Amino acid sequence: MKKFGDEYIRRFGLSRIIEHWLNAAVFAVLVLTGLSQKFHDYSVSQWIVMTLGGIDVTRLIHRYTGILFAGLTIPHILAASFGFLFLKWQPSIIIHKNDFRDAIVNIKYYLGLEEHPARCDRYDYKQKFEYWGVVVGGLLMIATGAILWMPAFTARFLPGEFIPAAKALHTNEALLAFLVIVIWHIYNSVFSPEVFPIDTVMFTGKISKERMMHEHPLEYERLFGVSLEGSKAEKTSEEEMMT
Ligand code: HEM
């Protein structure tokens, strides 16, 4: 099979890379200042709160970082919707019925019941799951955070039960989001054998051709106008020779 060595393709532009790292930084501050309030009995939480200057400062940092988070999330959704509707952006992140099929194919593949893994496009079903988790979860955090910030104002328009409900949602979704990022996202971008010791795509914006053929074959075929179907058999026999 033809080897591409270290030939790379651009996957993300600079604005996407900046947006990703801004989101990561803002999320880290929200987790740190939020979870240290939730788990206030732990000495590590008390250390964080005292280091930041006390509970009032911690709450203030959390709220204003929350505004920054909304300032990243809402324009992202508006820009993406505008792009899809008026600029003919490809809706490659939209969940499609093929994603469910791909997930089943991969489970069977890992169980040895399928010969080849799923052939994914620009974003596979795991990446879409994470993306929509961040978008939907982010909107929930913004709405419930705003209710917690202005309970008296909220109670003028909505039944009072919305305030404890918002608190339950905000605090539990925070823990869920934190665990998903730590377990799922960090595993996929650092510890997964496919990328270890680190996935460099979100630093350089580039992906190797070889990795793209392996992980996003449908996108590769579209970009280069080739079919990789034939090379699957070649790859399998190559893998067999190596084992
Ligand atoms: C993904 C982002 C976020 C995470 C992980 C997060 C996490 C948390 C956590 C764990 C708590 C403590 C809840 C408890 O005591 O049980 C909290 C409280 C709070 N959060 Fe967030 N939050 C996020 C986003 C936001 C946003 C966007 C806002 C504002 C719009 C916000 C405003 C608040 C407010 C007002 C409180 C109550 C504590 C206080 O009065 O300062 N949060 N957050």
Q: What is the pLDDT of residues 145-168, one digit of tens each?
A: 999 999 999 999 999 999 999 999
Domain made up of 8-242: CATH architecture: Up-down Bundle (1.20)
End-to-end CA separation in angstroms for the chain: 17
Residue closest via CA to ligand 1's atom 9 equals 34
Could you tell me if the CB of 59 is within 6 A of ligand 1? yes
Query: Domain ranges in the chain?
Result: 8-242
Identify the segments of the chain with pLDDT beneath 70: 1-6, 230-243
Q: What is the pTM of this model?
A: 0.89
Centroid of ligand 1 to alpha carbon of 242 (angstroms): 51
With a 6 A CB cut-off, is 228 part of the ligand 1 pocket? no
Q: Is the CB of 66 under 6 A from ligand 1?
A: yes
Neighbours of 111 (CB within 10 A): 8
Widest CA span of the chain, in angstroms?
Answer: 71
pLDDT of 97-140, one tens digit each? 999 999 999 999 999 999 999 999 999 999 999 999 999 999 99
Ligand 1 close to Cβ of residue 171 (< 6 A):
yes
Count of Cβ atoms closer than 10 Å to residue 151 Cβ: 14
CA of 30 to the centre of ligand 1 (A): 7
Evaluate: CB of 142 within 6 angstroms of ligand 1. Answer: yes
Question: For residue 91, is the peptide bond before it cis, meaning its omega torsion is within 30 degrees of 0?
Answer: no
Site to probe by mutation for ligand 1, drawn from 36, 49, 170, 185 as the one with most ligand atoms within 8 Å of Cβ, is 170
Q: Is 59 helix (H, G, I), strand (E, B) or coil?
A: helix
Quick check: 30 and 66 in contact, CB under 8 A? yes
C-alpha distances (whole Å) from 158 to each of 70, 148, 162, 213 are: 22, 13, 7, 52
What was the pLDDT predicted at 231? 57
